[in-house]
Amino acid sequence: MAKIGVVDVVVAAFECAGTIERAVLSALTEPQVRRVFVIDDASRDETATRATALAERDPRVVVRRLSINSGPSVARNIGFSLGAAPWVAPLDGDDYFRPGRIARLLQAAEECDFVADDIIQIDDVGADGVASPRTLMGLRSRRRLDFAAFVAGNVNSRARRNELGFLKPLMRRSFLDRHGLHYANELRLGEDYALYAQALALGARFLVLPASGYVAVVRENSLSGLHSRGDLERLRDFDGRLAAAFDLRPAERRALRRHTQSIDARVRWLAVIDGFKSRNLRALFAPFAAPPQIVGFLMRQLFAEGMRRAVRLAR
């Protein structure tokens, strides 16, 4: 039987007034949860008000409101610093736990430093729609992640999207504290990937289970889908710092180079778009001075965009 009150849950919340109560209550339902820290990232809606109402009813809920929008990394780091439970777990403000998730993860944790589960994804189709759930990985058995496998699991291919960085594990606080690990404050995109990659480079034991009850609501306007060229550049540059900071094996460096290249391809595509919008031919063609894989990506993107425009004109 999993121990009572051994997990702190940190909810980095930004303008999720319609879902924050569901998220917090789903965590409070888990007997193993000691505290739920809601860090409101300067929301302009009723997110903080609704979270505070929950805190007034249940002392396990602690709410902090940031005066300036600082991004999920800063918010989560603040939440992590407030807790003291042996395990800490992130939960997005528009996601939720199904009953029993925390107990299932703890029972599998054993000597692990990180234990996650395949994410159940449900499209946000509105109050009248019916969403069909699917899983992020389609995992049917336990899987242990190492650095190379994890980094490679964040490189998309033409056949599928690979997004292991979306996992939301329980993290052993003693491991984080021993290595001084925290989310990279400068990242507003890929902050989970960055933290897990560092942990694995430091030897973290990372176990992933089949879907156990983390439900992610997929929205067209989600923060993870709305990112700037600068967001991507900072994530790409983080890879460079990661490569310099650790003595990685050849297979690990190959995986990291592929990830860096995949991010750089997206940076260059946004540069192409900027060049097109500004009617600056030099800015438009400069991104094509790149390795063949990236040039191929850019050409496919151009073709797809051309087809979309042709369809719109035909209508």
Torsion, CA 257, CA 262, CA 263, CA 268, rounded to 10: 120
Domain boundary residue, one of 196, 225, 254: 225
User: DSSP 3-state assignment of 265?
Assistant: helix
What pLDDT, on the 0 to 100 scale, is given for residue 208?
98
pTM for this entry: 0.92
**52 within a domain of the structure (yes/no):** yes
pLDDT band at 210 (very low <50, low <70, confident <90, very high): very high
What pLDDT, on the 0 to 100 scale, is given for residue 156?
78
**1 within a domain of the structure (yes/no):** no
Pair 190, 89 in one domain? yes
Confirm if 97 and 30 have CB atoms less than 8 A apart.
Answer: yes
Pair 196, 47 in one domain? yes
Pair 141, 30 in one domain? yes
Residue 184 phi, psi (nearest 5): -75, 110
Report the run of H or E that residue 144 belongs to, with start and end.
strand 143-145
Report the run of H or E that residue 277 belongs to, with start and end.
helix 250-278
Residue 176 pLDDT greater than 60, yes or no: yes
What pLDDT, on the 0 to 100 scale, is given for residue 132?
81
What pLDDT, on the 0 to 100 scale, is given for residue 315?
73
Residue 125 pLDDT greater than 70, yes or no: no
Pair 212, 97 in one domain? yes
**Pairwise CA distance, residues 208 & 146, whole Å:** 11
Pair 187, 296 in one domain? no
What pLDDT, on the 0 to 100 scale, is given for residue 213?
97
Neighbours of 275 (CB within 10 A): 17
pLDDT band at 159 (very low <50, low <70, confident <90, very high): low
Cα dihedral sign, 199-201-205-209:
positive
Pair 180, 247 in one domain? no
> DSSP characters for 62-91?
EEEE-SS---HHHHHHHHHHH--SSEEEEE
**Pairwise CA distance, residues 208 & 37, whole Å:** 24
Range of the domain at 59: 7-225
**155 within a domain of the structure (yes/no):** yes
**Pairwise CA distance, residues 46 & 17, whole Å:** 5
Cα first-last separation, the chain: 61
Confirm if 172 and 87 have CB atoms less than 8 A apart.
Answer: yes
What pLDDT, on the 0 to 100 scale, is given for residue 161?
66
3-state helix, strand, coil in the chain (%, to 5): 45, 15, 35
Number of separate domains in the chain = 2
For 22-73, what is each residue's pLDDT tens digit? Answer: 999 999 999 999 999 999 999 999 999 999 999 999 999 999 999 999 999 9
Share of the chain above pLDDT 90, in %: 83
Pair 207, 234 in one domain? no
Residue 225 pLDDT greater than 70, yes or no: no
Domain boundary residue, one of 180, 199, 225: 225
Pair 44, 164 in one domain? yes
pLDDT band at 162 (very low <50, low <70, confident <90, very high): confident
pLDDT band at 4 (very low <50, low <70, confident <90, very high): confident
Q: Which of 69, 70, 96, 91 is nearest to 80 (CA)?
A: 91
User: Rounded to the nearest 5 degrees, what angle is found at the Cα of 189, between the Cα atoms of 100 and 293?
Assistant: 115
Q: What would the two tokens of residue 68 be?
A: 């300036």
Give the least confident one: 75-79, 181-185, 187-191, 279-283.
Answer: 279-283
